[in-house]
Every structure is written in structure tokens, then in C-alpha cells.
Amino acid sequence: MIQLYLTLIGARVRSQMQYRVSFWLELLGFLLVTGLEFATIAILLGRFGSVGGWGLAEVALLYGLTSFAFSLAEMVGRGFDSPFERMMVMGAFDGVLARPLGAFFQVLTADFQLRRLGRTAQAALVLAYAFSQIPIVWTPDRLLLLPVTVLSGFLIYLALIVIGATFCFWTTTTPEVINVFTFGGEQMASYPLSIYQEWLRAVFLFLIPVGFSNYPAALYLLGRADPHGLPAWSAWLAPLAAAVFFGAALRFWRFGVSTYASTGS
């Protein structure tokens, strides 16, 4: 399966790389545009000094973690965006179901945007800045938590993309409302979860767990306590939250596929 994934993705990337210059320009574009996103946060913090007791370097840690995860999800999951939407409008999803592979797998391999590494690079730079400013004691568990958190965040964002796409089975086009969750989730996770109202915190930890893409992990790395009593070990719940959420997204997707009505003719 992984072999096949790489083969199919390889074909995509190769055809994208045919236009080498535009590839690098787009990659650079993503780096700069998402760089502006962080710049906005930095300017805001420059004015107020800190948000919820978090200084710029600490917010950079939050932002870097979630942006890194988000960039991976966008790179891998873009097949669920416009390619899938196109499939639904043009009835090409028929072809997907006529092949001996899972529908999820095939839509996933319908696109792979390597140029989204622009955002990954930006996130890495922001993280590097954060680590240079914050004296984190790098114990093995903290080192391990880093990839665990990023991967969990990646799965959570990917699940969000899949859930948004699934609505296509009933509306044919991805409703904009899902962007509220993906982009909105990414934006809101750029600030410490502690500043939000209780119900919002609950939503973003237990319903749409984007909070797990960074907040508990950041607390753990900083050795800081949550003012609302979120225990330190909750950082290790991220993979669980991600797995449950991704599983739910997958089930929702399967349900969508089973109601697929195709198009006429």
C-alpha cells in the first residue's frame, strides 16, 4: 500500500515538477504568505507584550507546532479539496469506485502538493526562533513529544479536511463552512487555549481536537501549568485524540461514499 502510494504520488510530483520554476516560486510564495500570518501575530504581541501570559517566543512555539502540522495535512490531503470536488461535479468519482482500491486512498492520491513545503519551512523557522529564545531543557520525553504532537496535529487537520470533503456527497461542493474549522482552527490554535471561554476550550479539545496540535505539548515543553487545571500528562493524549477524531472522520467518509449518487448519464 505504501509502495503504491509512493508510486501514485510520485507520478503527481513528477508532473508538477515539469514546471520547475513555477514550483519553486509557489513554494516561496507559501513561505512568504504564511510568514505574513506569523508576522501579524508578532505585531499584535509587540503591541500588547503578551497574550494570556504567553510572550512572543512562547506563542511562536504554539504557532510553529500547529502550522507545521497544518502544512503537512495540506500537502498530503489536498486531493480532498479541489480534485475531489471536481470528481464529484464531473462524475469522475465513478472511476474511483470502479478501481480495486479504497476510495479514501484514491482521493488522497489525487493530489500531493509538495509546494506546501513552503509553509512547513516557515513553521520550522518559527519553531527554530522559539527554541532559540526559550530555554527548554531537552529531556528524552520532551524530544519525543515533538514529533508525536506534530503527527497528531497532522492527523487532526487531515481529518478536518476529510470531513469537509465528505459534505460534497450531499452538496457537491465543499461548503465554505469547513474552512471555519480548518483555517479557523489553525488560527485559533495560534494563541494559548487558556484565553478562550470554557465551552470553546472544550470544543477544541474534545470535539474538534485541534487544541491538541500544540497547547498541551507547549505546556509540557515549557514546564508550565494550565490555569484551568489541564494536567501536564494530557500532552500525551494528543495521539489518542487524533486517532479517535481521524477514525470518526473516516467513518463519516465511508458513510458519505455509501450514499454516493453519481451524476446522470
Q: Which stretches of the chain bind another protein, using CB under 8 A?
A: 3-4, 7-8, 11, 15, 90-92, 94-95, 97-102, 258-262, 264-265
Asked if residue 131 lies in contact with residue 218, where contact means CB atoms within 8 angstroms, the answer is no
Q: Does 264 bind Mg ion (CB under 5 A)?
A: no
Site for Mg ion in 19-78 (CB under 5 A): none
Task: Point out which span in 5-13, 14-22, 70-78, 257-265 binds Mg ion (CB under 5 A).
Answer: 257-265
Q: Does 3 bind Mg ion (CB under 5 A)?
A: no
Minimum gap (Å) between residue 260 Cβ and ligand ATP: 9
Minimum gap (Å) between residue 90 Cβ and Mg ion: 15
Asked if residue 41 lies in contact with residue 34, where contact means CB atoms within 8 angstroms, the answer is no
Minimum gap (Å) between residue 159 Cβ and another protein: 23
SS3 annotation, 128-195: HHHHHHCCCCCCHHHHHHHHHHHHHHHHHHHHHHHHHHHCHHHHCCCCCHHHHHHHHHHHHCCCCHHH
d(CA 39, CA 54): 16
On the 0-12 / 13-18 / 19+ scale of CB atoms within 10 A, 62 is buried
- CB-nearer residue toward ligand ATP: 93 or 181: 93
Q: Which does 101 bind (CB under 5 to 8 A by kind): Mg ion, another protein, ligand ATP, none?
A: another protein
Q: Does 22 bind ligand ATP (CB under 6 A)?
A: no
Asked if residue 148 lies in contact with residue 238, where contact means CB atoms within 8 angstroms, the answer is yes
Q: Which does 94 bind (CB under 5 to 8 A by kind): Mg ion, ligand ATP, another protein, none?
A: another protein
Asked if residue 169 lies in contact with residue 259, where contact means CB atoms within 8 angstroms, the answer is yes
Minimum gap (Å) between residue 259 Cβ and another protein: 8
Minimum gap (Å) between residue 42 Cβ and another protein: 40
Taking phi first (over 0 means left), then psi (-120 to 50 degrees means alpha), and beta for anything else, what does residue 112 get?
beta
Minimum gap (Å) between residue 90 Cβ and ligand ATP: 12
Q: Which of 18, 197, 259, 265 binds Mg ion (CB under 5 A)?
A: 265
Asked if residue 77 lies in contact with residue 154, where contact means CB atoms within 8 angstroms, the answer is no
Asked if residue 150 lies in contact with residue 235, where contact means CB atoms within 8 angstroms, the answer is no
Q: Does 264 bind ligand ATP (CB under 6 A)?
A: yes
- CB-nearer residue toward ligand ATP: 169 or 204: 169
Q: Does 172 bind ligand ATP (CB under 6 A)?
A: no
Q: Which of 73, 79, 56, 251 is nearest to 153 (CA)?
A: 73
- CB-nearer residue toward ligand ATP: 10 or 91: 91
Interaction site with ligand ATP (CB under 6 A): 261-265
